[in-house]
Amino acid sequence: MQNILVTGGAGYIGSHACKVLKNAGYQPVTFDNFVTGWRDAVKYGPLFEGDLCDAASVAAAFEEYNPIGVMHFAALSQVGESMHEPGKYWQNNVLGSLNLIETAAKYGCKNFVFSSTCATYGDQDNVVLNEDCAQHPINAYGASKRAIEDILANFGQSHGMNSVIFRYFNVAGADPEGEVGEFHQPETHLIPLMLDAISGKRDALTVFGTDYDTPDGTCIRDYVHVMDLVDAHVLGLKWLEDGKGSRAFNLGTGSGYSVREVIDHSQSVTNQTVPFTTGDRRPGDCTKLVSGSQRAIAELGWKPQRSNLSEMIRDAWRWHQNGHYDR
């Protein structure tokens, strides 16, 4: 069985990717430092506990498991924090990724699937973003991810590193079978925050900004189901194994929902009221981010099955009621 090194494999998206990799016949090897990940989420293959900023531990993982590919999810990802502590994001995201890429090149592991973000595009309102749109990140999170994309391109030229880059939009939902799910401490994502408010785990959801240039004044995002997202990552790995070379793909639905619309859908799915208050805009938040994902559909054969808002909320609500992790 071929090993795939999954950085951040104990986190939300990484754990779902490990499940799909296992089902596709690979052995996912989770590499995680458990700053934000959960030991209980490591279910589908071996664990190597390490830190990407420690080059020696990265090399030790490659020595032990000799992976034929890397899926790189590990990163700090809070936009607001990145505005106030940019150095933290450049240190963790960029230096850690450089260690990983250099080590992969050294060990001849040239298939690299990278979890990037639509935040690399910056604030381009009223535009359906495709892969050819200019990248002008407006926060350190997006800028750090853009820098890693550039590093991968450089290593493609110098070392023959082949990379599939996925720039995705707002990830939501959970494993429908309930084995893994979305659980952060502290929680920062809209849908689980809403579900916390519904279930009484917090007093209310805070809606940040009601004066955006949108129909209801709240910002608009494109939501993609986590299981559809990780399916694309396996397709990206197969793309590289087939020798098709480096490529960037957006992953989203092409449909944007405002915060108020997400609240309305949540109330409909759960049949409960979402208590919420309003607050000021957060620094670095864009007005509208919507994906054009036709390249992934046409070239990868990606077929998102679960990425409608009601299903994402329904799966998330099921996990929210039954799932939790302990470190």
Reported as a pLDDT band with limits 50, 70 and 90, residue 322 is confident
Domain ranges for the chain: 3-171+223-251, 190-221+254-322
pLDDT, tens only, 56-79: 999 999 999 999 999 999 998 877
pLDDT, tens only, 161-218: 999 999 998 999 999 998 999 987 788 889 999 999 998 888 999 999 999 999 999 9
Q: What is the pTM of this model?
A: 0.94
pLDDT, tens only, 297-313: 999 999 999 999 999 99
Question: DSSP secondary structure string, 89-145?
Answer: HIIIIIIHHHHHHHHHHHTT--EEEEEEEGGGG---TT-EE-TTS-----SHHHHHH
Closest CA to 236 of 224, 250, 223, 220: 250
Supply the pLDDT for residue 205.
93
Whether residue 327 is predicted with pLDDT greater than 50 in this model: the reply is no
Identify the sign of the CA torsion 277, 281, 286, 287.
Answer: positive
pLDDT, tens only, 261-299: 999 999 999 999 999 999 999 876 778 888 888 999 999
Question: DSSP secondary structure string, 22-35?
Answer: HHTT-EEEEEE--S
Query: What is the chain's mean pLDDT, rounded?
Result: 93
Identify the sign of the CA torsion 147, 153, 156, 158.
Answer: negative
- Fold observed for domain 3-171+223-251: Rossmann fold (3.40.50)
Is 107 a known active-site residue? Answer: no
Q: Please tell me which residue in 65, 141, 168, 212 is annotated as part of the active site.
A: 141
Residue 67 in tokens = 């992976």
Mean pLDDT, rounded, for 75-97: 90
Supply the pLDDT for residue 285.
75
Supply the pLDDT for residue 129.
87
Question: DSSP secondary structure string, 181-234?
Answer: ----SS---HHHHHHHHHHTSSS-EEEE-S-SSSTTSS-EEEEEEHHHHHHHHH
Residue type, 100: L
Residue 166 main-chain phi, psi, to 5 deg: -110, 115
Reported as a pLDDT band with limits 50, 70 and 90, residue 1 is confident
Supply the pLDDT for residue 283.
74
As a CATH number, domain 190-221+254-322 is: 3.90.25.10
pLDDT, tens only, 96-144: 999 999 999 999 999 999 999 988 988 776 678 899 999 999 899 999 9
Neighbours of 201 (CB within 10 A): 12
Supply the pLDDT for residue 326.
58
